[in-house]
Amino acid sequence: MIASYFNDGSGGFISNIANFFQKFFWADEHYVLGGGVLAGGYLYILLHLSCAQSTESRGKPSKKWWFVPGIRPGPPTKIYLMRVVLRITWGGHFFWVVLR
């Protein structure tokens, strides 16, 4: 009974939906752009959250032994690091889309 939904010969509902998505997205510019947007959004959110959590603590660098002389922890440093990470993320995202 359930197998009849997936059967191509009977024109099942699920097979029609699968054929629509395969024809619309496979090897088409929509597929490449959609995948690029989804991957870029995922990378941006992931890196934004991880950097925001790692730079929000003032005393964390000196307590964890990764203190860099000459760099003061605080809001200006956090803003600068987030800007650098954002540029690296977008560069990697565009490179990934070109390779794909």
Predicted confidence (pLDDT) per residue in 64-95, tens digit: 656 666 777 777 877 887 788 778 877 877 77
Q: Is residue 21 part of a domain?
A: no
Q: What is the pLDDT, as a whole number, of residue 51?
A: 66
DSSP code of residue 5: H
Q: Is residue 71 part of a domain?
A: yes
Q: Is residue 47 part of a domain?
A: yes
Range(s) of the domain holding residue 55: 28-99
Q: Is residue 89 part of a domain?
A: yes
Q: Is residue 8 part of a domain?
A: no
The pTM for the full model equals: 0.44
Judge contact between 93 and 42, C-beta under 8 A: no
Q: What is the pLDDT, as a whole number, of residue 23?
A: 74
Judge contact between 100 and 36, C-beta under 8 A: yes
- Looking at the structure of the chain, the number of domains it has is 1
Q: Is residue 83 part of a domain?
A: yes
Q: Is residue 17 part of a domain?
A: no
